[in-house]
Amino acid sequence: MSQQHATLLQFFANWCYPCKVLTPIVNTVETKMSNQLHVSRIDIDQEEDLASRFHIMAVPTLVLMKDNQEIWRHTGVLSENDLKTALGSALSGKL
């Protein structure tokens, strides 16, 4: 069974300390889940229209997209384990 990759949108800002904390966690999870997941990093100061379209009110915000549908969202910092668990649940439809 072929599984289409999902995309994790990582909304951040360069001035945001929690964003700097979350980035290496997302990078590690992206490496470990590379067969299921692609990460797209979006600077809200550079991509204001995109941030507005996704109703981003705070950073860091993660939005998981699959088949052009949002299937999961989280604002704030997560541990690597919590992020892997949440993404795994979302991707398997168990949320």
Whether 16 is a known active-site residue: answer yes
| Catalytic residue (choose from 8, 16, 42, 87) | 16
Q: Using only C-alpha atoms, what is the Rg of the chain?
A: 13
Whether 19 is a known active-site residue: answer yes
| Catalytic residue (choose from 19, 22, 29, 59) | 19
Active site residues: 16, 19
